Amino acid sequence: MKVQSGARVAVAGAGALGSATALRLARAGFAVTVFDPAPPGANASGVAAGMLAPVSEALFDPASRDHLPLMRRARDLWPAFAEDLGLEIVRAGVRIEGSETWRTQVGQRLRELGLPIGEVIVEDWRVDALRALEALRAASEAAGVRFQASAIEAFAPGTLRLADGRTEAFDVLVLATGPGARDGRLAPETVALTPIKGQILRAPVTESDAAVVRGEGVYLAPGQTLAIGATMEIGRDDLAPDASATQSLRAAAWALRPDLDLDRAKVEVGVRVTTPDGLPLVGWSAASGVLLAVGARRNGWLLAPLVADMVAAYLNDDNPGPDAAAMDARRFEEPKS
Ligand SMILES: Cc1cc2nc3c(=O)[nH]c(=O)nc-3n(C[C@H](O)[C@H](O)[C@H](O)COP(=O)(O)OP(=O)(O)OC[C@H]3O[C@@H](n4cnc5c(N)ncnc54)[C@H](O)[C@@H]3O)c2cc1C
């Protein structure tokens, strides 16, 4: 479906996917408004560690194991994307630390993935997630995107209804609502999404080394604070910090750095959302005029530039690229009998 340049596009959600998409669409000549009732950064995108880590994800997240080539393609879009935003990519890599048994297991997994065996994964990078959100918002506003602090409740081509009852005229809705809007009312495909609560600890940075440290059951990602993450609580979408769930994270972090002061660490909570195969839903919904950009699991930042490019391609009726089938928005639809 080709949408005319200048068409009015509403983006629901100002996380990594919605923000990257809004900027991309504004640059492509669409009249874009982003709707999000939450304050900037009050979402999974603002809580995230900001790792752009295809190899670590293929190694440590079973659902991502088969997606290494796709994740690498997504990462390779980042240098131009970050340069445009004036955002630094930290390329200090990921250092594997821990017991000899654990490092041997990781070496075995690296071998199975056809990757070089070593103690530092040099091709995994990271960015500062909150700075990235700020930079995306500033660039979007400069490109003419409007932001409204409202939730979208209903859409049909021509009419968008907001939670406060107001209606506005839009031609297309891009759904980038993360764990929100999973009841299928805005797009039936969202019922395939499962939330995964993630808690992450933030402690003061004590080392000058910029590399992420990856140990058994934990990562330590330096930045403005040391991000120690993260729990994977499948099926949960509440934002309540829960000390019992972070206990194993603390133990795993102390095993690597016994001197870490975790008693005063701040706990932050975000909810990721996943599909059964771990890749997002990207493309036209069965609901008329609705395009999906949702379900990025642990990789919303990594995938954001790729998803934004694909959404722009769908709106322009261009080729969405080699990852379109793998991320097809309707791939979990029940076949019609
Ligand atoms: C602890 C943790 C660590 C992570 N670390 C990394 C990492 O290192 N690297 C990485 O790539 N990814 C990481 N992730 C995953 C990443 O954060 C997510 O994949 C990504 O943030 C998803 O972005 P999003 O834009 O889809 O959703 P979100 O960031 O969840 O944003 C969705 C937005 O939609 C809004 N919304 C909901 N319903 C509506 C509605 N009806 N109308 C309007 N707006 C609505 C919400 O208010 C919200 O702001 C991490 C996640 C967590 C929780």
Domain map (residue ranges) of the chain: 8-327
Cis check: omega of the bond before 324, within 30 degrees of 0: no
CA nearest 90: which of 211, 206, 200, 202? 211
* For the CA of 150, the nearest atom of ligand 1: 43
pLDDT of residue 5: 82
Q: Any idea what DSSP says for residue 129? A: H
User: Whose Cα sits closest to atom 42 in ligand 1?
Assistant: 151
* For the CA of 271, the nearest atom of ligand 1: 53
Q: Supply 17's token pair.
A: 């996917």
Separation of CA 308 and ligand 1 centre (Å):
14
State how far the Cα of 52 lies from the Cα of 50, in Å rounded to an integer.
Answer: 6
pLDDT of residue 337: 67
Strands annotated E in the chain: 8-12, 31-35, 51-52, 94-96, 120-121, 125-126, 146-148, 152-156, 159-162, 167-168, 172-175, 194-203, 212-215, 218-221, 226-229, 233-234, 266-274, 281-284, 290-294
Specify the pairing of strand 159-162 against strand 167-168: antiparallel
Q: CB within 6 Å of ligand 1 — which residues?
A: 12-18, 35-38, 43-45, 47-51, 151-152, 176-181, 198, 200, 229-230, 270, 272, 294, 296-302
User: Whose Cα sits closest to atom 20 in ligand 1?
Assistant: 300
pLDDT of residue 264: 84
Separation of CA 218 and ligand 1 centre (Å):
20
User: Whose Cα sits closest to atom 2 in ligand 1?
Assistant: 48
Separation of CA 246 and ligand 1 centre (Å):
20
User: Whose Cα sits closest to atom 30 in ligand 1?
Assistant: 178
User: Whose Cα sits closest to atom 18 in ligand 1?
Assistant: 300
- Mutate which of 11, 301, 327 to test ligand 1's pocket (most atoms within 8 Å of Cβ)? 301
| Dihedral in degrees, nearest 10, Cα atoms 213, 88, 62, 311 | 170
**Which fold is adopted by the domain 8-327?**
FAD/NAD(P)-binding domain (3.50.50)
pLDDT per position in the chain (337 positions), as tens?
A: 778 888 999 999 999 999 999 999 999 999 999 999 999 999 999 999 999 999 999 999 999 999 999 999 999 999 999 999 999 999 999 999 999 999 999 999 999 999 988 899 999 999 999 999 999 999 999 999 999 999 999 999 999 999 999 999 999 999 999 999 999 999 999 999 999 999 999 999 888 889 999 999 999 999 999 999 999 999 999 999 998 999 999 999 999 999 998 988 999 999 999 999 999 999 999 999 999 999 999 999 999 999 999 999 999 999 999 999 999 999 999 877 6
Separation of CA 314 and ligand 1 centre (Å):
22
Whose tokens are 């769930």? That residue is 245
Separation of CA 155 and ligand 1 centre (Å):
22
* For the CA of 301, the nearest atom of ligand 1: 11
Separation of CA 319 and ligand 1 centre (Å):
26
